[in-house]
Structure 1
Amino acid sequence: MPGTALIVIDMLNTYDHKDAEALVTSVRKALPGIRTLIGRARASDSPVIYVNDNFGQWRSHHGELLQAALAGHHRDLVEPIVPDEDSLFIVKARHSIFFETPLAYLLGQLGIERLVLCGQVTEQCVLYSALDAHIRHFEVIVPPDGLAHIDPALADAALQMMQRNMAATVCATDDITLDATPPVAEPDAAAG
């Protein structure tokens, strides 16, 4: 089985934007599934990679982003999914987790071929990330019960598009198997 990584998208959020009210309701419903996936990935030694917006603070590192999210309006939505010391973290500037980030390189170094995408927002960042993963030949899995949305109809359409147009597996978190990453071959010292 190919190496699998869990990608947690934009869950370190301050929830101080115009769509926050609709999003918060959906995040509350998705949070148990996201927590389950994170716990399962950690237990199986699969990489957990947080890819998060930077809130326009180009001087920020992940610790500052986490502190801003914890100081935001909905700390209760952030605390249960705080990255641990083994979690990896990538800052993104746009919707896709791949756009101008080192994620593809990191996944290659880890021997990852299969991505489980969870987080927010289904009809925006998750959709664009699934497309970018698909065109990079990653196997993509998206669990509706581990995703939050702003607009339910658009989220349903996005899930249909991911399944139909991007060959994504759309299934419940309980149906997802996370496995340890295959070992990455060390470069041959004599070849260098």
Structure 2
Amino acid sequence: MREAGFDIARTGLLIVDLQNDFLHSDGAYGRAGQSAADIAALPERIKPLADALRAKGGWIVSTQFTLVPGKGGEPFISPHLKTLRPFLARGDFEPGAWGHQLVDTLQPADLTVEKVAYSAFFMSRLEYVLRRAGIDSLIVCGIVTNGGVASTVRDAHVRDFGVTVLSDGCAAFRSDVHETALADLSSIVSVRTCAQAMQLIEAA
């Protein structure tokens, strides 16, 4: 987030992968017992900031991890992901399905972009829609800090977007991994709490 001449209309809250299949108890990860309290707490923590940004004319951008269905509906799953998350199956993270959607707490998004890898910029239309919307500053939140968040933030940085990462608006499955990732990212982008980011929005 560029503080000098901070322009709400050119700012987007970039929500990384806060989807039903990741967070809801009936989603793919919930059914497999893959959950963490820090991750579950994110939507309610982020909601006031998202509402404030909406009210002031900023953008809400949701990036949504996607398993593209192939023949017979069987999803394309990268080998490393299949090894890491063997429970993933047909229908999980499927475009248009309930599990693929942004969690209700943070709806609606102004822009929604499917992602197929850690970085939301990889082989997606994210940069195109951000540029078309006139967005040059991003406030990034979501999961996981050391995966989708970190990869997306680094790609945004090299594309000359102003980036702020919300330290308590992101989470990982382990708090030490989360903290290490934030420390690494702080060398290239701004890291703020949700409360600190809210102050900037309210003052704009």
Indicate whether 1:6 and 2:28 are aligned. Answer: no
Letter in 2 for 1:149: A
Cα shift at 1:139: 1.0
Under a length normalisation based on structure 1, what TM-score does the superposition of the two structures give? 0.76
Stretches of structure 2 lacking an aligned partner (at least 5 in a row): 1-5, 23-27, 74-90
Letter in 2 for 1:68: G
Aligned to 1:132: 155
Aligned to 1:170: 191
Under a length normalisation based on structure 2, what TM-score does the superposition of the two structures give? 0.72
Alpha carbons 2:138, 2:163 under 8 Å: kept: yes
Larger RCO, structures 1/2 (Cα 8 Å, 6+ apart): 1
Q: CA RMSD in A?
A: 2.8
Indicate whether 1:151 and 2:174 are aligned. Answer: yes
Q: Runs in 1 of length 4+ with deviation above 6 angstroms?
A: 58-63
- Give the % identical residues: 25
Structure 2 CA distance for aligned equivalents of residues 36 and 6 of structure 1: 12
Cα shift at 1:27: 1.9
Q: Which moved more, 1:34-43 or 1:125-134?
A: 34-43
Stretches of structure 1 lacking an aligned partner (at least 5 in a row): 71-76, 180-192
Aligned to 2:124: 101
Letter in 2 for 1:24: A
Letter in 2 for 1:155: H
Alpha carbons 1:29, 1:145 under 8 Å: kept: no
Structure 2 CA distance for aligned equivalents of residues 24 and 82 of structure 1: 22
With over 3 angstroms needed to count, the CA separation of the structure-2 counterparts of 1:82 and 1:57, relative to structure 1, is farther
